[in-house]
């Protein structure tokens, strides 16, 4: 049977030939190629919610450097499931409102495979509902207890850095044994401080020590001397966790108040991340102790994995940028980015992850993880992972300030930081 269009005769054979050619053309066309390859070689997209600006900017910059280094290492080694990894960075201004909008943007505009990288707790908590509603796996590097508290949702994970409740608990045996039995806490009167306020006293109690005073400093405070007379005279150890721009003033005024004598000092390095320990006014910190997630300064017994990690990220033996010795890193936390990306890789490989339709499988595969061995993928040390509370637990470092450097004097065990789970995310529907 033939028909005529514009005077040209078309046979069934020529029609089929034409359809065949058209189909071939469509398949060969750029749009279709992209679609056909979407499952095989299109990059895996990770939405990086970065604190490029706002109060978290110093951390954010180093989180970004670490992320870029890890992604380069992963891609150089063949990517994830044979696919390259692409990172899409959006600045959240360290603001929870904007953070939530950005996670929504990752899910619905960029259509990323996972969202990742958030540090500040209020941004994590503000963004978590969107991740849950959009069913977008959201891997944070925040150290807050919010994930492990099981108050968020099934799509939020923290597999690359130990949470602060565990960190505090792990510090207690050493403080009690080596620093003193009577502890006064000074902490910022906001949520980061509340974790220390709430979790340190029972942890110390279990070790036979006591918190004898808790001094909360309002978030708007810029001078601290007036709070120091509240420190009881029989204090053995001052436990301080001030953060933010006022920390240098805090440390300087505390030093001037005691004039070189006074109780021992124990702090979380959060106070001085990205700050040179040899800055003017910090001299009196000499001899005091700090918690560090990963050591800022290169240590004599660093593993090859730790050395390789530091070289890849680009930090020198003082924990500053190899390009600028004054640019001090956030070494105690940023390793969490490196390790989280390798956890994402591992979970995607275990789930045989193909694309967003496999997000549920990815969540289950992540929950099924239990241990991360120390090595190039986990240079900070070995970790266990509790899939029910979506939280990892690792070793912690206690360092002393000596000759203008931080030297690790004690490493805790994973068991020091373990606590009873407060819930179970796996009971929530996917």
Partner 1 sequence: MTGRDGKAIALHGGVIAALFALNFVLPEYHHGVLARVLVLAVFAMGYNLLFGYAGLLSLGHAMFFAAGLYGAGLPMYHFGWGVLAAFLSGLSAATILAFVIGMLALRTKGVAFMIVTMMFAQVGYLLVYYFGSWTRGDEGLVIQQHARAIEIGATTLDLTEPTTRYMTALFLFSVVLLVTFALVRSSFGRVLIAIRENEERTRMLGYDTFANKLVAMVASGAICGAAGAAYLILFGYVGSTFASIQYSILPLLWVLLGGASTTLGPLVGTVLMFYLIDGSGDLLKTYAPGWNISHLGIVGAALIILVLFFPKGILGTIRDRWARWLP
Binding site for partner 1 (CB under 8 A): 52-54, 57, 89-91, 93, 95-98, 100-101, 104-105, 108-109, 121-122, 125-126, 128-130, 132-133, 144, 146, 151-153, 189-191, 194, 218-220
Q: Rounded distance, CA 294 to CA 315, Å?
A: 13
d(CA 322, CA 324): 6
Nearer to partner 1, 76 or 357 (CB): 357
Helix (H, G, I), strand (E, B), or coil: what is residue 326?
coil
Helix axes 12-28, 30-37, angle to 10 degrees: 70
Rounded Cα distance between 366 and 123, Å, is: 22
Instruction: Supply the minimum distance, in Å, between the C-beta of residue 188 and partner 1.
Output: 9
Q: How far apart (Å, rounded) are the C-alpha atoms in residues 140 and 143?
A: 8
**For partner 1, the closer CB: 218 or 229:** 218
Secondary structure (3-state) at 335: helix
- The distance of closest approach from Cβ of residue 156 to partner 1 in the complex, given in angstroms and rounded to an integer, is 10
Least Å distance, CB 152 to partner 1, is: 6
The dihedrals phi and psi of 417, each to the nearest 5 degrees, come to -105, 5
Closer residue to partner 1, CB minimum distance, 91 or 416: 91
Residue closer to partner 1 (CB basis): 9 or 226: 226
Please state the closest distance from residue 129 (CB atom) to partner 1, in A. 4
Phi, psi of 369 (to 5 degrees): -70, 145
What minimum distance in Å lies between the beta carbon of 330 and partner 1? Answer: 16
Choose among 51, 60, 61, 116: nearest CA to 88.
116
Residue 185 or 412 with smaller CB distance to partner 1: 185
Cα 59–chain centre separation: 10
How far is it, in rounded angstroms, from Cα 242 to Cα 271? 5
> What DSSP line would sit under 77-108, residue for residue?
TT-BTTB-EEEEEEE-TT-HHHHHHHHHHIII
Q: What share of the chain is helix, strand, coil (3-state, %, to 5)?
A: 40, 20, 40
The nearest distance, CB 126 to partner 1, in angstroms, is 5
Please say which residue, 3 or 109, places its beta carbon nearer to partner 1.
109
Q: Least separation, in Å, of the C-beta of 105 and partner 1?
A: 6
**DSSP state for residue 270 in the 8-state scheme:** G
Task: In angstroms, give the least distance from the CB of 104 to partner 1.
Answer: 5
Residue 131 or 277 having the CB closest to partner 1: 131
Comparing CB distances to partner 1, the nearer of 384 and 426 is 426
Question: In the numeric block, which tokens belong to residue 189?
Answer: 């009167």
Strand locations in 113-217 (E): 114-116, 138-139, 156-157, 182-188, 210-217
Task: Report in angstroms how near the CB of residue 1 gets to partner 1 at its nearest.
Answer: 43
CB of 153 to partner 1, least distance (A): 7
Residue 12 or 111: the one with the smaller Cβ distance to partner 1 is 111
H/E run at residue 48? strand 44-50
- State the DSSP string of 166-210: HHHHHHHHHIIIII-SEEEEEEESSHHHHHHHHHHHHHHHTTT-E
C-beta closer to partner 1: residue 188 or 417 = 188
């Amino acid at each position: 049977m033939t028909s005529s269009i514009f005077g040209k005769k078309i046979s069934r054979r020529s029609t089929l030939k034409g359809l065949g050619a058209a189909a071939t053309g469509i398949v060969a066309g750029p749009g279709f190629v992209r679609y056909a390859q979407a499952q095989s070689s299109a990059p895996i997209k990770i939405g990086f919610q970065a604190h490029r600006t706002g109060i978290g900017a110093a951390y954010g910059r180093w989180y970004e450097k670490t992320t870029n280094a890890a992604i380069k290492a992963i891609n150089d080694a063949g990517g994830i499931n044979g696919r390259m990894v692409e990172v899409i960075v959006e600045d959240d201004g360290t603001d929870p409102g904007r953070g939530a909008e950005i996670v929504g943007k990752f899910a619905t505009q960029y259509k990323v495979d996972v969202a990742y990288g958030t540090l500040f707790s209020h941004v994590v908590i503000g963004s978590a509902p969107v991740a849950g509603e959009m069913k977008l796996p959201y891997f944070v590097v925040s150290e807050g207890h919010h994930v492990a508290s099981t108050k968020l949702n099934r799509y939020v994970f923290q597999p690359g850095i130990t949470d602060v409740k565990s960190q505090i608990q792990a510090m207690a045996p050493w403080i009690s044994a080596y620093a003193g039995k009577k502890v006064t806490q000074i902490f910022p009167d906001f949520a980061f401080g509340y974790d220390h306020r709430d979790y340190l006293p029972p942890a110390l109690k279990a070790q036979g020590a006591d918190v004898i005073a808790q001094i909360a400093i309002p978030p708007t405070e810029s001078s601290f001397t007036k709070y120091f007379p509240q420190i009881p005279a029989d204090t053995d150890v001052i436990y301080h966790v001030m953060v933010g721009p006022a920390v240098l003033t805090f440390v300087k005024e505390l030093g001037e108040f005691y004039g070189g004598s006074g109780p021992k000092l124990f702090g979380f390095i959060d106070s001085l991340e990205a700050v040179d320990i040899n800055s003017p006014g910090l001299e009196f910190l000499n001899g005091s102790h700090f918690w560090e997630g990963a050591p800022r300064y290169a240590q004599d017994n660093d593993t090859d994995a730790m050395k390789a990690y530091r070289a890849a990220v680009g930090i020198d033996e003082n924990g500053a940028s190899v390009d600028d010795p004054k640019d001090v890193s956030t070494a105690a936390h940023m390793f969490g980015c490196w390790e989280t990306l390798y956890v994402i890789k591992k979970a995607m490989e275990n789930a045989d992850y193909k694309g967003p339709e496999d997000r549920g499988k990815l969540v289950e595969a992540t929950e099924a993880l239990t241990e991360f061995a120390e090595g190039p993928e986990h240079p900070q040390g070995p970790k266990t992972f509790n899939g029910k509370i979506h939280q990892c637990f690792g070793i912690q470092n206690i360092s002393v300030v000596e000759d203008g450097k931080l030297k690790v004097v004690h490493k805790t065990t994973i068991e020091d930081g373990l606590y009873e789970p407060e819930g179970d995310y796996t009971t929530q529907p996917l």
